[in-house]
Amino acid sequence: MPNEIDLLLVERIGGLAGFGVAGSRIRCRGQLAFNSLPDTDQRLVEALFKGHGKSKPSAQRDTFSYRISCARKFGAKTVEVPEAALPATIIACVKDELI
């Protein structure tokens, strides 16, 4: 079965400064082609999307979470995961911008 994911949209949220929450003046986001990821990272992302949409939050305070969305053949899907659950290739695509 061919992969249904083409593009990943990634947004960093939370942390001490509250990135990405309502009223925040900083937006942290990026995107990357799913096929550009190494095979191991592709399998990890597929496993995240097969989960229940939100993984267990980090036990550490003021840490980042990442909201990952993808357009799929049968509709969009979004998951939210702690930073520790993501490979560096996905984290690296996120850039900060003032709004």
**pLDDT tens for residues 41-93?**
999 998 888 875 555 554 555 678 899 998 776 678 899 999 888 999 999 99
**What would the DSSP string read from start to end of the chain?**
------EEEEEEEETTTTBTSTT-SEEEEEEEEGGGS-HHHHHHHHHHHHTTSBPPPPSSTT-EEEEEEEEETTEEEEEEEEGGGS-HHHHTT-EEEE-
Q: What mean pLDDT comes out for the span 19-26?
A: 63
**pLDDT tens for residues 23-52?**
666 778 999 999 999 999 999 998 888 875
pTM for the full model? Answer: 0.76
